[in-house]
Structure 1
Amino acid sequence: PHQVKPPILSYYLKLDDQVIHFLLKQKGLEPRLESWCQLIDNPTVEAKLLIRDEIKQILPKLVSQTQDTRQPLILYLCGLHPTEKRQGAIALAAQLKRGLLMADLAQALAIKEDFNSWLKLLFREAYFHNSILYLESFDALESKEDYLLSKSLLNRLAEAKDIVILSGVQSWVATFTDTKVVITVPFPTPDFCQRRIYWQANLETKGIVLSDRQLDTLANRFRLSSTQIASAVTNACNQALWRAADEFEELPLNTIKPTLNDLLAAARDQSSNNLTGLARKIKSKYSWEDIVLPPDQLAQLKEICNQAKYRHIVYERWGFNRKLSIGKGLNVLFSGPPGTGKTMGAEVIANELQLELYKIDLSQVVSKYIGETEKNLNRIFTAAETANAILFFDEADALFGKRSEVQDAHDRYANIEIGYLLQKMEEYEGISILTTNLRQNLDEAFVRRLAFTVHFPSPDEASRRRIWAGIWPSEMPLSEEVELDFLARQFKLSGGNIKNIALAAAFLAAETGSPVTMSHVLQGIKREYQKMGKVWDDAIRSLEINSIRI
């Protein structure tokens, strides 16, 4: 306390590297921000890029007004497609003739450094470059663990003096602590008419002409953004070129055009892969010729496909879209004993519609803890919003088996879980299929909410004969002594059982180096009976074919 305070000239001043960078007028981005930020000094918009009217007209007008009054402006771009929102921010910056500093908050959190220090650097960098700040992945801060980080960002936004653009998926929820007005700019998935325009415009730039029906198929089948559609067209053209290179000595470049199947495949590739960690993708290899069902059930499957194919006519052109708030999704129940073709039916539908099929095992989703089942289901349907896929919920008995008559709180909660699943199926604007062996455990009130209920019965003798005839690949040698009529009449098996038996018989024949014989087939039936817990001796006594011995 008795020391004399040193004079001010005895202190030294150390400037932050970012400030030195600015004073020396060095170009480029501050090195500490390079791993999760991108600076666009002179943003431009491609002429062919289709920008929504709100971006081209309303937003610049709003921004100009706030600049004239020297008021800050915070915009929240809300939607599923990050590329679409990013293009919107670039278009706005280009119209205002300003740079754009883009930062990914999810990547910033992954660095595990002092978040407040990063924010200070970030906002200062935007100021030094006179750029609009664009913060992506705002939803990354919504977890309880990141509450303090989210609060730090909101405090920083409250002090903002310029335009700041946020981007996220969830709707913005204002709180009493918000000191600035946040204007939400929705970026919804384009509807059918918009998607059709995007497909047509992008195809025309490549000199590709499709029929109206083909354009309708692409626009109706896949709910893609404009940038995804542009990428799909480019990728389909590249795939057609690759295929032509394999077929022709000299490439007739001017005549190589992608087929509709090329475009459908490219559209599938543009769909999100968020479901991969939550469900198992099934490669659909079955067609209508492979499935054996009674005529009425087969007709139902075709009606399901037709509803998916022509939903744009009924909902969009004929106005049913205005009549329904929910229930636009195509939710289906497949019921029947195991092995009767429920999974095959889903594969046939996926193959017909050229859509991906994801299988979700509900026994792995259902939790004994109250509320956890709904959280698991919500994660699946949230990921499915951009997947453009068919959701196939297997083992629904994990839910339906928990309830019969409501007798206690557990029964009531099981009903809540079922109701929640059906609600999410209704909200999902795609096809969702539920399978159960316990159709009798489902309330009629729930059944009324389903678009289709298809029962897969155990096959009768004629159906079993068709299954036995179609199960053998054409390349496999099959002995003439294999009596398909006898097998269909004698053994009341499901299609799944018959598939297992045929495969077992093929391996037995491969071991002996001979065609598949009746002896091989009967040995396969014996093993299948053992798996099913049936007594083989009782069955074999009834055989009256003297030439057969096992």
Structure 2
Amino acid sequence: MVSKAHDNAQTIQLELDWLQQILKARSAINSNSSPAPSDLLQIPAPDLSAMDSSYADLVRKFHLGPEDRFLLILAAVPHIRPQLLDMFMSRNQLTQQIYTEFGGRKGKTHNGFIPTGETVMFILAGNELKKRFQYQNLLDSSGVLFKENILRLSEVEAEESFLNGALIISRDILDLITTGKVKKPGFSSDFPAQRLQTHLDWEDLVLSEETWIQLRELEVWLKHKDFLMQEWKMSRILKPGYKALFFGPPGTGKTLTAALLGKKMGVDVYRIDLSRLVSKYIGETEKNLSKVFDRAEKQGWILFFDEADALFGKRTSVNDAHDRYANQEVSYLLQRIEDYDGLVILATNLKNNLDDAFMRRFQSSIFFPIPQAEERLMLWKKGFPEQAKLESRVDLNAIASSHELSGGGIINVIQHSLLMALENEDKIIRLDDIKEGIQREYQKVGRTI
């Protein structure tokens, strides 16, 4: 990894030197101090064909020309050599403001210059309208860097030019071209999703036969989606990605199944709790969701939305402005889900609370029922550690047959009985402790043994 970071540094230094030549040429043109090429991108970019680095690999993979490489290194500069853009911090002596033509932004904590679309236009086109219109196409969403979510322009107010958006490089790409290793994002205000992981294996999952059959389709899709869409050219007909609904009572394995599906297929799973994500402030929910999707696209992640009925309940009647914005939030998320090219799983305990129009968008709807007696017995047997000793009165067959519990409920009972056993010198798991645990689980839902 140290070697990769070293190779990346060598390559990026060449790109920075090239960018600096372009900036000096722009400065010379503006001051009329020396001749410069009519097109600054005629200044030859470094030859990276022999370079073994993540940056060079990226250039080769997407066949990036000088225009794309210019955008890429310019977007990376604030993160790796911010002082290179200090020339744009000079102020107009009359207004004491940064020159409008430079574009640029100042971050909340970053004191340096953050380039925008206008900065790109100034460097490449100066005051020449013809060139400005020509190079404006570089920032079109159809460009490879934008299509692959390597770069994006930040959102601006409706009445502002889109070129005022900051030129932003993907965090994953930035990690890749610097350290050589993409860091897994952690839960934060900038990324309101949490990676789902488990120490269990696929073989530990206990589900009904019908649920297993339906899950098989998700597994097959993850395995063959590229062949389906590209080789068989089904992208002409099918929408990108796959959308599935997991529904059933709490504790029946919906979250665990999502985590294990990702583990089995070698795909990261990120959980988004919609009940926590929905904001009372108008417009904030869309911003929070956007942060997740912008990071997830093209990564192949499984997105797992828990408590789906928090946002996808029966369609709200429009009685006031907040109702209207609530429906806009639903529409926004639906559109992002429609466009997402990976697997999206939404989970709910209450399927009947979901909007009917929304239900039609799922390719599959998978029920996670309370396990039957045979399945409960498997859960009881798998739940206790091998070295644990059960009291002779404990009959797991009888317990499984007599007490209807979810998988999560059974695990809670097992934990309670194990803790009680550890308090005893012989560390034997007693029937009375198991029954007490079962009673506690029943009390949660207003039942008695």
Q: Same fold (TM over 0.5)?
A: yes
Counterpart CA distance in 2 for 1:101 and 1:484 is 64
**What does residue 144 of structure 2 align with?**
187
Local SS of the residue matching 1:184:
helix
**What does residue 292 of structure 2 align with?**
380
Identify which of 200, 223, 247 aligns with 1:309: 223
* CA deviation profile, 1:311-359 (whole Å, cap 9, x unmatched): 12211111102234xx211111111111111111112211221112211
Local SS of the residue matching 1:181:
helix
Counterpart CA distance in 2 for 1:386 and 1:408 is 39
Give the Å deviation of 1:300. 0.8
* CA deviation profile, 1:48-77 (whole Å, cap 9, x unmatched): xxxxxxxxxxxxxxxxxxxxx9522469xx
Contact 2:82 2:113 in 1 (8 A): no
Identify which of 435, 441, 445 aligns with 1:528: 441
Amino acid at match of 2:78: A
Superposition map of 1:121-136 within 5 A = none
* CA deviation profile, 1:431-480 (whole Å, cap 9, x unmatched): 12111122112233211211211111122333322222221122322334
Give the fraction of aligned pairs with identical amino acids, expressed as a percent: 32
Superposition map of 1:160-171 within 5 A = none
Counterpart CA distance in 2 for 1:480 and 1:118 is 83
**What does residue 47 of structure 2 align with?**
none
Counterpart CA distance in 1 for 2:41 and 2:187 is 35
* CA deviation profile, 1:100-159 (whole Å, cap 9, x unmatched): 997844248977996624799xxxxxxxxxxxxxxxxx997799x999974883574266
Local SS of the residue matching 2:344:
strand
TM-score of the aligned structures, taking structure 2 as reference length = 0.66
**What does residue 161 of structure 2 align with?**
none
**CA distance 1:295–1:101, change in 2 (3 Å):** closer
Counterpart CA distance in 2 for 1:469 and 1:421 is 41
**CA distance 1:519–1:106, change in 2 (3 Å):** same
Greater CA radius of gyration, 1 or 2? 1
**What does residue 345 of structure 2 align with?**
433
Local SS of the residue matching 2:235:
helix
Identify which of 317, 323, 337 aligns with 1:406: 317
Task: State the structure with bigger RCO (CA 8 A, min sep 6), 1 or 2.
Answer: 2
Local SS of the residue matching 1:520:
helix
Contact 1:271 1:387 in 2 (8 A): no
**What does residue 106 of structure 1 align with?**
78
Counterpart CA distance in 1 for 2:89 and 2:327 is 49
**CA distance 1:416–1:273, change in 2 (3 Å):** same
**What does residue 71 of structure 1 align with?**
38
Contact 2:77 2:84 in 1 (8 A): no
**CA distance 1:333–1:91, change in 2 (3 Å):** closer
Structure 2 unmatched ranges of 5 or more: 1-8, 19-35, 43-53, 67-71, 93-102, 149-171
Superposition map of 1:148-547 within 5 A = 150=116, 153=119, 156-157=122-123, 178=132, 181-184=135-138, 186-187=143-144, 273-274=184-185, 276-277=187-188, 278=191, 279-324=193-238, 327-401=239-313, 403=314, 406=317, 408-409=319-320, 410-513=322-425, 514-530=427-443, 532=444, 534=446, 538-539=448-449
Contact 2:74 2:115 in 1 (8 A): no
Structure 1 unmatched ranges of 5 or more: 1-33, 44-68, 76-81, 94-99, 121-137, 163-174, 192-223, 233-269, 540-550
**What does residue 26 of structure 2 align with?**
none
**CA distance 1:103–1:317, change in 2 (3 Å):** closer
Counterpart CA distance in 2 for 1:379 and 1:365 is 11
Counterpart CA distance in 2 for 1:190 and 1:148 is 22
TM-score of the aligned structures, taking structure 1 as reference length = 0.55
Aligned residues: 361
Counterpart CA distance in 2 for 1:372 and 1:521 is 46
Identify which of 48, 55, 60 aligns with 1:83: 55
Computed over aligned residues only, the root mean square deviation of the Cα atoms, in angstroms, reads 4.6
